A and B are shown apart, each in its own frame.
Chain A
């Protein structure tokens, strides 16, 4: 029982398939095609500054929308009594079992010029909206796909919260707004923080959603990286450099966020 030997295969496996690949990314980022050291990959990245800006902006907007929609959703679900609350996790995870590309693609039919949504608007006498192939549609795709990752951690934190704390606050004369602001919300922050990480990272690196819903007009970081490895602009060195910079920016911003979130906020995974 007391043997650390059984972890050795795992350690070897993770070293080869997690650590070495990341080292390769760094090596590729600092070399050129003939294998010599260069910083050119980073220098030539300035032409993609707008892509960086757009990706981070859209991911930021999507994350904010996810908090605004996901927090109340998790909060109200945790307040439900009985069956609905018990099944909440399942109901939120269930859509994830449908292929993610198909789910995203169905939004095209819902949102297109003569799609379901516009027909609905027309019948109630409102003008049609051009949603598809805009950046708004890309944000919608991100929110739709990653909202469960915001709701689930917040829900599980609020659900496990010690109800005696809330009752104590009420006994001490706090009204429900104060209870929320000074007890429930601060206690649920770890859930929000892990939700933000789990929404922001996939949003900033997505390459499918923008292609499906954005009409390929607004190139994002994910698209740029994909093009360097499997697409038309084959150049794994530049691709690695872009990946590396993206990874560093994400890590730094997550680090700063967790610093502000006090107490590191233990990660809540599902």
Chain B
């Protein structure tokens, strides 16, 4: 392929400007000494100070982080286990599982959200009917018991929804690694006297690790960025950051949110730079090892 000329370079610059312009605006206005997001009123750090006083935003941040981390951990473990299970399934069962696995990936978010909301509301209805039915039984009445099963939209339903849409991403990134696995390695470990658990921990797991980490990263990104599914499954008691932003957008976005997004953006940027530097260093080390090995 030819190298990029001036025009294609310019095109790339314009496209990246397009992708980053709104982010630039947010960052600039997080330092704006005016409540409005349209007029520049001088530099200030007030919004960063006020951010740490704003309970609504901080609570939402806590919910978001908690739900994303929990969902990522659970989905990563469950997804890896499922992917391992897939490989010993018969072909037809595996195809069926993969088809179901693809549903949350290809379905529109709003349909995933709405359908899960229907399930949760339905489950709440069933439980309420069940407790009413139990309370009418004479045995229960004579024993002076009172059943009051309840199931409402809230943190638990939010977490269930996040786990459900995270698992498919983990499976999709672990499966190729399982396919590349050399079955002889695990068998060699077993022959050398390792228990199946040790063989898995010391031989199989390290081979799968890149896929697992990649899956966990995608799952976390999806969780933290999700709005639509959370909106339908969280109910009115808990809010994630996106939901707080959504309720603000309809009235007025307070600049604290700009400050918070700037902080989050900087945190992610720093993390990515660290990862990149580490990779670059590892590559350099590997190249050096190869040179040394080549000489001897």
Residues of chain A having any CB pair with chain B under 8 Å: 1-11, 13-22, 24-25, 28, 69, 72-73, 76-81, 87, 90-107, 109-110, 112, 114-116, 144, 147-148, 163, 166, 176, 184, 197, 201-202, 204-208, 212, 222, 225-226, 229-230, 236, 239-240, 243, 246-247, 250, 254, 267, 269-270
Contact = CB atoms under 8 A, between A and B. Distances in A.
A225 B85 contact: no
A254 B107 CA distance: 12
B12 A229 contact: no
B8 A72 contact: yes
Contacts of A270: 218
B148 to A, nearest CB: 23
Contact of B245 (A16, A102, A112, A222): A102
A14 B38 contact: no
Contacts of A254: 106
A258 to B, nearest CB: 11
Contact of A25 (B12, B82, B115, B196): B115
B31 interface: no
A201 B108 contact: yes
B108 A202 contact: yes
A98 B257 contact: no
B130 interface: no
B118 A28 contact: yes
Contact of B85 (A6, A144, A197, A239): A6
Contacts of B18: 144
A10 B78 contact: yes
B154 to A, nearest CB: 15
B135 interface: no
B25 A80 contact: no
B242 A99 contact: yes
Contacts of B106: 197, 201, 254
Interface of B: 1-4, 8-9, 11-12, 15-16, 18-23, 25-26, 29, 37-38, 78-79, 81-82, 84-86, 88-89, 93, 97, 100-112, 114-119, 122, 160-161, 163-164, 167, 169, 172, 186, 196, 199-200, 204, 218, 221, 224-225, 227-228, 231-232, 241-242, 245-246, 249, 253, 257-258, 261, 264-265, 268-269, 272, 276
Residue in B115, B228, B265 whose Cβ sees the most chain A Cβ within 10 Å: B115
A243 B114 contact: yes
A18 B119 CA distance: 10
Contacts of A6: 81-82, 84-85
A109 B30 CA distance: 14
A114 B26 CA distance: 17
